Structure 1
């Protein structure tokens, strides 16, 4: 996954602080490197799939909240995704 491209898309789609965009992109890269999405859900984790999943979060959520909402959904459905959360104080 192209982390810099993800940072750019996150800024365009969700705003958030630079620190929040970097933290989310770092965790997205770690999630991609872990290969869990491909293994468990059958699709490649790309910039587009990250953005698409974050768009599903409640509209009033900020970037970090959206990321953690998605990771929380993965945790509930598949387990062992908590390590990919972003600390809320990063926002």
Structure 2
């Protein structure tokens, strides 16, 4: 696995703030995206923690979930088929 969930969760909060609930749901979606192979097939690169952080850094201000949805929306426009990786709801637990 190229996504290290524990480290990604910490990096998301360090870089973008937000709650544990927000960072955890982004991590779950990132793992699902990596496992699907769709990103690698479309972009030709492996999805890693560094890629997620770099891509979310390009997003406008916002919590990790906002940034994730912005990036997923960009991938949806560019390639299609990414809507299922968007975040609709999550439990906001600290």
- In which range does the TM-score fall when normalised by the shorter chain? over 0.9
How far residue 13 of structure 1 moved from its aligned partner, in angstroms, is 0.4
Q: Which has the higher helix share?
A: 1
Q: Does the aligned pair in 2 maintain the 1:64–1:88 contact within 8 Å?
A: no
Q: Residue deviations 1:14-65, cap 9 Å, x none?
A: 111100000000000000000111111010000000000000001x222111
How far residue 89 of structure 1 moved from its aligned partner, in angstroms, is 5.9
1:40 and 1:26 map into 2 onto residues whose CA distance is: 20
Find the residue that maps to 1:80 and give its secondary structure.
Answer: coil
2:15 and 2:46 map into 1 onto residues whose CA distance is: 21
TM-score, length-scaled by structure 2: 0.90
Closer/same/farther in 2, CA of residues 52 and 81 from structure 1, 3 Å limit = same
Q: Specify the alignment match of 2:62 in structure 1.
A: 61
Q: Does the aligned pair in 2 maintain the 1:71–1:82 contact within 8 Å?
A: yes
* Structure 2: gaps (5+ residues): none
Closer/same/farther in 2, CA of residues 65 and 88 from structure 1, 3 Å limit = farther
What do you get for the CA RMSD once the two structures are aligned?
Answer: 1.3
Q: Specify the alignment match of 1:43 in structure 2.
A: 45
